[in-house]
Structure formats: structure tokens, C-alpha cells
Structure 1
Amino acid sequence: MSIRHGLLALLDQGPSYGYQLRTEFEARTGATWPLNVGQVYTTLNRLERDGLVTPDGEDEEGHQFYAVTDEGRAELRSWFDSPVARTNPPRDELAIKLAMAVTVPGVDVRAVVQAQRLHSVKALQDYTRLKARALTAASDESAADTDLAWLLVLDQLIFQTEAEVRWLDHCETRLANRKPSARPAAAPARRVAKTQGEER
């Protein structure tokens, strides 16, 4: 998730201060990736350092506003125009867990898969209910663009979770067809204490 570019996109619509940016970011993403104000201001400081935003005065309550610079707009346009790279996929905890489970003796891998599948199906049901409510809200004449933004995020979560459930089903099939390994697992290396006078 690019908080950096998300904040630039919000500032492209007008100057804002940290709490406003956090609120608007979460409104557009349904708080799927919640931010804290400290995280927002840390990112703003880095954007200012890089010349992408600039301080734009304070209000009567002392809130520091920020505005996007021309360089920031160019960075934002480049982000929108460039596809998200898949050459270095992010670490996936579930994939790592299963990769480790099949190589560690004594782990019931099928139980791990089944437990995750139950959890993922429950999440899918929750996302589907949220989508039904979001569709109702989006059909209202007063619906804002943020309602559509939340629907897009929900669609991504649903498709991603559906794919995860299919992958887990595939994992179960692979495990059922797996042949017993003919090679015993390597024993962990042991450190042997050297006695005095032992050759080095």
C-alpha cells in the first residue's frame, strides 16, 4: 500500500492537515488499511523533504496545512500511469506458513490448511455482507465518489479471498496426492564443545 501516493492524491484536491488526510483516506478505503496520525505526519515530513509537498499555513486552531507542489503532481501522475510491479511480490504470511509447515516434522499441514480455509470463508461472507450494504448506499441519489471507492476496495478483497480459498482447495489436493518423502529430514547441526587441548 502506498500511503505516500495516497496522500498526494488527496492533497491534489486541495490543502489539508494530517487529521483531515487520515479521515479522508479511511473514508475512501473503508478503513481497510487504518492509519494513525503519527504515520500521516511522518509521511508528510518525507514528502516535504523530497519537495513533493509544501507547508501552506495554519488555521486558527494551529493545524498545519500542506499543499502539493508541481513535482508532487508529476509524481502522482507517474504513479497513476504506471502499473503496480509484480516482479517482487510482497511477502505472504500464509504462503510462508504452508511452505514451512510441509518441511517441519510433526506439523499437521492439512489441519493448518483447513483452519485457514474456515477463516477465509468466514471473511468472504463478511465482505459479501459489507458489499450488499455498500451497494445500497451507492444506489442512493446522494451517494458520493467515496461510496464507489469503497465498493472497488471491497471487490478487490472479495476476489482476493475467493482466490485464496481456491488456492487452499488446490493445496489440499496436492497434499492428498503427495508421495512420502524417501529422503529423511536433515538433522539440525549440533555444536560440540571443544575440550582443552583438542586440536583446532
Structure 2
Amino acid sequence: MSIKFALLSLLAEHPQGSAQLQSTFHERTHHTWPLNIGQVYQTIKRLERDQLIKVCGREGKADIFTITDAGTAELDEWWQRPVEKPADDRDDLVIKMALARDRAPLIKAQREATMTKLRELNRTPAEGAAELLRQRHIFQLEGEARWLDYLEALS
């Protein structure tokens, strides 16, 4: 996840200061991704340097930032770009299955672990971003279970 684009998306909604950006980020993501204020300050400096945001006022001692036209254009491009997993993603389970002389015990153990995690996730409702993340994990585990079925059928 890019902090740069997270902050730009929040600033596209309305001008905010660094502390408010951090707070809004945590509210919207339900604390699923910890973001410390140092990361916010560092990212704000880079965004300002790259002229993607600018100071539009002050609130007490804090600068209030707004997104620039260049920032809006870069954010729009980011929204339109699909998220893809790297093709060379190393997956320990794939390597284990490729190297195993007998896959049956591995498939059995992995299926049990997958189903245990799946049952656990189905019993644990969440909200907001945490719910989106939970649902994504559920679908990934269901896909893994189907893949294990496929491997078992090959044996």
C-alpha cells in the first residue's frame, strides 16, 4: 500500500493537516494498517517537494495541505491502474509441492490448516477496511482449497 496515494486520496476530499491525515487514515482503514506520524510527515515533505500538494493555510502551528492539479492527475492515474501480484512471487507452498516426492501428506496438512483458518475468519466479523481484508483472505483461502483439490486429483 502506498502511503503517498493514501494521503493524496484523503487530501482530494478536503484540505487537512498531518495529524488529521493520520487520524482520518486510521478511521477509514479501521487501524488495519498502522501509520505513524513520522511516515505522514516524511510523505508530506515528498509530496510537497514533488508539487503534488501545497500549503493552503494554517491551523494553530500546523500547516494545512491541499492537493494540486498535478497531484489530482497522479491520483487519478493511480485509481485507474489495476493492482497486480508480481509474476515472480515466491510461494513456499508451491515450492514444497513442486519438491515433494509424496504430496498427499502435504496436501492433507495444508487443507486442514486452510480450513481451520477459513472457519476462524468466518466466525470473526469486522467492519470497514478490516472487513474488506477479511473477505479477501476468505476468497484467497477458498482458492487455495480449490488448488489443493486440483493437486490431489493430479496424484
Normalised TM-score (structure 2) = 0.71
Aligned-residue RMSD, C-alpha: 3.3
Q: Residues 53 and 66 of structure 1 are in contact (CA less than 8 Å); yes or no, is this contact kept in structure 2?
A: yes
The letter of the residue matching 1:29 is T
Name 1:191's counterpart in structure 2: none
Change in Cα spacing, 1:18 to 1:99, as seen in structure 2 (3 Å) is same
Higher helix share: 2
Superposed counterparts of 1:57-68, under 5 Å: 57-60=57-60, 62-68=61-67
Whole-Å Cα distance in 2 between the matches of residues 169 and 65 of structure 1? 54
Q: Deviations over 1:67-103 (max 9, x none)?
A: 21111112222222x24153x627645x2x1343356
The higher relative CO (CA closer than 8 Å, separation ≥ 6) is in: 2
Name 2:115's counterpart in structure 1: 121
Judge which range, 8-17 or 153-162, deviates more.
153-162
Superposed counterparts of 1:146-161, under 5 Å: 147=128, 151-161=131-141
Name 1:2's counterpart in structure 2: 2
Change in Cα spacing, 1:20 to 1:99, as seen in structure 2 (3 Å) is same
Structure 2 regions of 5+ residues with no counterpart?
Answer: none
Instruction: State the shift of 1:21 in Å.
Output: 2.2
Task: Report the secondary structure of 1:54's partner residue.
Answer: strand
Task: Give 1:164's match in structure 2, choosing from 144, 150, 155.
Answer: 144
Instruction: State the shift of 1:5 in Å.
Output: 1.5
Q: Residues 22 and 35 of structure 1 are in contact (CA less than 8 Å); yes or no, is this contact kept in structure 2?
A: yes
Instruction: State the shift of 1:13 in Å.
Output: 1.4
Aligned length: 155
Structure 1 regions of 5+ residues with no counterpart?
Answer: 135-146, 178-200
Whole-Å Cα distance in 2 between the matches of residues 90 and 26 of structure 1? 31
Instruction: State the shift of 1:11 in Å.
Output: 0.9
Whole-Å Cα distance in 1 between the matches of residues 22 and 106 of structure 2? 36
Please list every run of at least 4 consecutive aligned residues from structure 1 whose deviation after the TM superposition is greater than 6 angstroms: none
Whole-Å Cα distance in 2 between the matches of residues 57 and 20 of structure 1? 14
Change in Cα spacing, 1:54 to 1:165, as seen in structure 2 (3 Å) is farther
